[in-house]
Amino acid sequence: MNAPVDVTNIRIETDRLILRPWRQEDLDDFYEYARVDGVGQMAGWHPHESIEKSQAILDGFIRDKKTFALELKDSGKVIGSLGLEAKDEGLDIPEELQGREIGYVLSKDYWGRGLMPEAVKAVIDYCFSVLGFDYLLCGHYDWNRQSRRVIEKCGFRFLKKVAHETRLGTTEQVRLYILYNPEKAR
């Protein structure tokens, strides 16, 4: 079952980041990283060709209340997103267990500094300790070694391979991983 989620009043602080709901004022920062070639494709979407595209996606983030903005503490700049997405059907996870699938994107300018593992670990901790989720999922396209490393660093275990239809009109093989809440007996 998909765990209910609403990030409206959530603020998570890590050493270098603040995770908080998206705001309309984040539009320029969002477009700045979402327009860069080679970023969105790794998560299944085209680089944004206009600020109007970013505006439409930003409106969705604000409306759906399931995606955090990643704000750099030292500059206040928004450099990425982390969403708690509905999981795919047919994963053989007992229906009574509640969880979500983590998805993320980071501005290319900030790759390789361990920022996304820092954000993901903080969200895992929040979802398990505060929201009481039973599990979290995370996945990457077969060839996306960068995302694979994030998932490994955060302690997820391989679950299965699934086919995924992307917004680019392609089908990708996704390696899906799971992490169970250690505070809950199973």
- Residues within the interface to ligand COA (CB under 6 A): 39, 42-43, 104-106, 111-117, 140, 144-147, 149-150, 153
Return the bridge partners of 71, or none: 18, 78
Residues 45, 47: Cα–Cα separation, whole Å: 7
Judged by CB, which is closer to ligand COA: 157, or 184?
A: 157
Secondary structure (3-state) at 74: coil
Chain residue whose CB lies nearest ligand COA? 112
Query: Nearest approach, Cβ of 118 to ligand COA (angstroms)?
Result: 8
Residues 61, 76: Cα–Cα separation, whole Å: 19
CA distances from 68 to 18, 62, 143 (A): 9, 9, 25
Judged by CB, which is closer to ligand COA: 12, or 115?
A: 115
Judged by CB, which is closer to ligand COA: 6, or 88?
A: 88
